[in-house]
Amino acid sequence: MKSANKRFKKSISTIATAGAIGLAAIAAGNALNSGSNVAAATTTAQTISVSVSSATIYDAPAGHATGKTLAQGTNWKAFSTAKDASGHTWFNLGGDQWIGSGSVAIVPANTSSDAVQSVIALAQKQIGKPYVWGAKGPSSFDCSGLMNYVFANAANKQIGGWTVPQESAGTKVSINNLKAGDLIFWGSQGSTYHVALYIGNGQYIHAPKPGDKVKVATISSYFMPSFGVRVL
């Protein structure tokens, strides 16, 4: 555990110097200081965001400063929490790295509805970009590449890079029961040839074919999709 903590301290020092990171699990373990100033820890993982200009890392709740700091606006994975003798809450970032609740804000977990809206919003931003066979963005797309791009970047959801694996990215639904955010497919399951994102009101966003661009279309009997898949 000591060697793991040394590696973590070296890593966090490098990150703090760099000044900005995204959401990350920054340690391999959750070793807790068992001193008398630490109450029982709650091992509920959550995301926290640094809310002050420079947040100090401590070696234990109400312990000693390690000399490391985290930059404002960066997000971190907190593996557990504990209270000190004064009742103040501390978040464990892994090993013996702790940060006080007064320096951070808890980041609410995305709900399914939030994720759906994020996926649709990102898909809308791609409208007008050219269709290119096999392209997965960000400047051009084919049909499955567009779906892969928006789900990966807006919902952190990996659905596969072409239509057949994307069929298994969620729960199959009928065309009559579609909801905004569902994938819709053309062709028999296992051999689909086209996919799009349903956005509600009978409309979908897709990358149609060579020579065309990402656009909004309306479900019609002329080009009726075969089934849907609910990913979120």
Positions marked active-site: 143, 194, 206
What distance lies between CA 110 and its chain's CA centroid? Answer: 9
Q: How far apart are the C-alpha atoms of 96 and 32, rounded to whole Å? A: 6
Sequence-ordered strand ranges (E) for the chain:
46-50, 54-58, 65-71, 75-78, 80-83, 89-92, 98-100, 104-107, 171-173, 183-186, 194-200, 203-206, 215-218, 227-230
Record the tokens describing residue 209, joined without a space.
Answer: 């074919």
Q: How far apart are the C-alpha atoms of 58 and 179, rounded to whole Å? A: 47
Neighbours of 181 (CB within 10 A): 24
Which has the closest alpha carbon to 145: 53, 208, 82? Answer: 208
Record the tokens describing residue 114, joined without a space.
Answer: 């939030």
